[in-house]
């Protein structure tokens, strides 16, 4: 079957999309991480600066409106008081004219009237509502009508005197208009302040949301290259030299990523060189070793003639040492393979008790041959780890216990939870670890002074070293417990599955 055209289109577009993403990333990031930080802080602070500027503008506008309102109310109070005083003065001048009939008093009246008209005009320019303006106009019209009647004393002196008294009452009403204007302006100021407060809160909320969005974007831009660097360093530290290092961000961080990629390639080449070296050395050692073993076997089975007692002892030594050397070579290769796999753990939740029971079953025949018994205590405990690697650790601990236990002995195996950790302790009844060997028991190729009680070839000195490396790769540890009852006791500590 052929590949569908749509799939071919998607495949052909992948390089284009990758290139487009790279170009967008290069344009989006500044050339240095410092500039990125400064831009991020500036972008996050910009909404707050805008909010402060808007607050200052709102406060300034409110101050101006307050100043205008105070000025208008003060002007209204002064003008209304002055208008009342002028009205009272007009009433007094009119009464004097009505009593004395002196034409000169009319001139004084006209002078007072000019001030009255100026004050009333000033009041009419204030922001009065319709009812207040009607009241003011009524006062002005009443005074104008009385002024026309005054020279001829039309309507009688008593009526005019009473009408001027009514004019004074109207002027007092104008003063009440001033008080109402003050109350209205204060109410308007309160309303303006409330509206300004609401606007400021809305603007502040909008700026906070905008700032949070900008901060989140900036944090993502900053975190992305840092996460990529962290992941690259973690992979390199874990021994994974296969995945290329690619960092997208500021130019200086991309250069750092390029140096890490160079380091990865160098480490990868070094690992490959080391593996080739070990394979070459093991091959070069196995060839003469095989010849040595075959020669020793020929001597031992008498193929080249009978041997004396001393010669047989020498041949036995040659056979034992050749087998030991072969075991060390194989152990070295196994250790290298185990270390190569440390950075590629296949982690999964697993029951450590199940791994432990399988390990005990694997050593059941060897234990039965020497009349050994396992005292097993293993409740189910979930850990996160590589089943094969943890099985290697458990197998090493049980294998050592079987090899060093005396015939008929008991191997105590206890698994328990301590806080957020799983503790696995394996204790045998053998000769234990000599004090001189305790400090180097986990070293590579370390051989203890005590010999195994189980017949066979001595160990390579790599098992405990590999087991400790595997434990540490799982975030745990492997330790030799302090001296207590006869025998050696080891403890494997692993973090429990969250």
Asked if 288 and 421 sit in the same domain, the reply is: no
Q: Is the pLDDT of residue 215 over 60?
A: yes
pLDDT at 28: 58
- Domain of 287: which CATH number? 1.10.287.130
* Section 218-223 average pLDDT: 77
Asked if 335 and 367 sit in the same domain, the reply is: no
**pTM of the model as a whole:** 0.48
List Cβ neighbours of 22 (8 Å cut-off, separation of 6 or more).
248
Asked if 63 and 22 sit in the same domain, the reply is: no
Q: Is the pLDDT of residue 273 over 60?
A: yes
Range of the domain at 423: 345-495
| 210 in a structural domain | no
pLDDT at 361: 92
Query: Of 176, 203, 230, which marks where a domain is finished?
Result: 203
| 400 in a structural domain | yes
| 221 in a structural domain | no
CA angle 372, 423, 407 (to 5 degrees): 10
Asked if 156 and 294 sit in the same domain, the reply is: no
| Tens digits of residue pLDDT in 40-56 | 777 777 777 887 787 78
| Tens digits of residue pLDDT in 459-496 | 566 778 888 888 888 889 999 887 767 788 899 999 98
Render 371-402 in DSSP notation, one character per residue: T-EEEEE----EEEE-HHHHHHHHHHHHHHHH
Asked if 106 and 247 sit in the same domain, the reply is: no
pLDDT at 338: 66
List Cβ neighbours of 452 (8 Å cut-off, separation of 6 or more).
403, 404, 458, 459
Q: Is the pLDDT of residue 254 over 70?
A: yes
Asked if 196 and 250 sit in the same domain, the reply is: no
| Tens digits of residue pLDDT in 2-12 | 444 444 444 44
Query: Of 305, 327, 342, which marks where a domain is finished?
Result: 342
Alpha helix ranges (H) inside 29-129: 33-100, 103-124
pLDDT, mean over the chain: 77
* Section 300-325 average pLDDT: 77
Q: Distance between CA 68 and CA 439 in Å, rounded?
A: 89
Element (H, E) at 285: helix 251-300
| Tens digits of residue pLDDT in 350-407 | 999 999 999 999 998 888 888 899 998 989 999 988 888 899 899 989 988 898 888 8
Quote the number of domains for the chain: 4
The encoded tokens of residue 325 equal 């050397």
Render 454-475 in DSSP notation, one character per residue: SSSPPP-S-HHHHHHHHHHHTT
pLDDT at 415: 92
* Section 137-160 average pLDDT: 75
Cβ contact 495:421 at 8 Å: yes
Asked if 362 and 337 sit in the same domain, the reply is: no
Helix axes 130-149 and 103-124, enclosed angle (nearest 10): 170
| 3-state secondary structure (DSSP) of residue 498 | coil
| Tens digits of residue pLDDT in 59-114 | 877 777 777 777 767 766 777 777 777 778 777 777 777 777 777 777 777 888 88
pLDDT at 421: 92
Asked if 259 and 401 sit in the same domain, the reply is: no
Asked if 313 and 349 sit in the same domain, the reply is: no
Query: Of 203, 229, 251, which marks where a domain is finished?
Result: 203
Q: Is the pLDDT of residue 246 over 60?
A: yes
Cβ contact 135:174 at 8 Å: yes
| 45 in a structural domain | no
Asked if 70 and 190 sit in the same domain, the reply is: yes
Unique residue bearing structure tokens 């080249």: 304
- Domain of 89: which CATH number? 1.20.120.1730
Cβ contact 207:47 at 8 Å: yes
Q: Distance between CA 36 and CA 274 in Å, rounded?
A: 41
Which pLDDT band, with edges at 50, 70 and 90, does 129 fall under? low
Element (H, E) at 200: helix 157-237
Q: Is the pLDDT of residue 450 over 60?
A: no
| 356 in a structural domain | yes
Asked if 446 and 359 sit in the same domain, the reply is: yes
The encoded tokens of residue 253 equal 């961080």
Q: In what order do the strands lie in the sheet with 477-480?
A: 373-377, 410-418, 421-427, 489-495, 477-480
Asked if 389 and 325 sit in the same domain, the reply is: no
């Amino acid at each position: 079957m052929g590949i569908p055209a749509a799939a071919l289109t998607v495949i052909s577009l992948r390089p284009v999309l990758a290139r487009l993403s790279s170009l967008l990333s290069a344009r989006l990031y500044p050339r240095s991480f410092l500039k990125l930080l400064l831009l991020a802080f500036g972008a996050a602070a910009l909404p707050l600066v805008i909010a402060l500027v808007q607050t200052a503008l709102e406060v300034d506008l409110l101050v101006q409106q307050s100043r205008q309102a105070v000025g208008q109310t003060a002007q209204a109070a002064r003008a209304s008081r002055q208008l009342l005083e002028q009205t009272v003065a007009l009433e007094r001048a009119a009464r004097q004219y009505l009593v004395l009939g002196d034409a000169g008093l009319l001139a004084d009246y006209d002078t007072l009237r000019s001030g009255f008209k100026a004050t009333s005009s000033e009041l009419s320019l204030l922001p009065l509502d319709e009812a207040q303006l009607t009241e003011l106009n009524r006062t002005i019209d009443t005074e104008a009508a009385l002024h026309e009647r005054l020279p001829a004393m039309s309507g009688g002196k008593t009526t005019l005197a009473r009408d001027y008294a009514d004019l004074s009452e109207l002027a007092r009403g104008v003063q009440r208009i001033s008080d109402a204007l003050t109350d209205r302006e204060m109410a308007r100021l309160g309303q303006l302040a409330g509206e300004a407060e609401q606007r400021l809160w809305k603007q502040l909320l909008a700026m906070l949301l905008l700032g949070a969005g900008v901060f989140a974007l900036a944090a993502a831009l900053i975190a992305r290259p840092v996460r990529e660097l962290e992941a690259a360093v973690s992979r390199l530290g874990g021994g994974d030299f296969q995945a290329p290092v690619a960092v997208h961000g500021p130019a200086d961080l991309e250069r750092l990523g390029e140096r890490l990629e160079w380091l990865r390639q160098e480490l990868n080449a070094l690992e490959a060189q080391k593996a080739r070296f070990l394979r070459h050395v093991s091959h070069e050692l196995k060839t003469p070793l095989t010849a040595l073993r075959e020669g020793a076997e020929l001597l031992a089975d008498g193929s080249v003639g009978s041997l004396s007692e001393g010669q047989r002892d020498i041949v036995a030594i040659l056979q034992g040492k050749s087998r030991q050397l072969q075991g060390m070579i194989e152990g070295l290769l196994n250790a290298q393979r185990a270390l190569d796999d440390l950075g590629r753990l296949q982690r999964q939740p697993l029951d450590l008790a199940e791994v432990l029971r399988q390990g005990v079953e694997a050593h059941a025949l060897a234990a039965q041959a020497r009349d050994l018994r396992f005292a097993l205590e293993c409740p189910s405990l979930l850990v996160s780890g590589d089943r094969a690697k943890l099985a290697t650790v458990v197998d090493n601990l049980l294998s050592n216990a079987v090899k060093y236990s005396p015939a008929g002995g008991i191997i105590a195996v206890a698994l328990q939870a301590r806080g957020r950790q799983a503790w696995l302790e394996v204790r045998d009844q053998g000769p234990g670890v000599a004090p001189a060997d305790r400090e180097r028991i986990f070293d590579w190729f370390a051989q203890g002074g005590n010999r195994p009680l189980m017949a066979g070839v001595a160990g390579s000195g790599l098992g405990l070293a590999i087991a400790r490396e595997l434990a540490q790769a799982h975030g745990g540890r492997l330790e030799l417990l302090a001296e207590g009852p006869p025998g050696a006791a080891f403890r494997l500590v692993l973090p429990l599955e969250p």
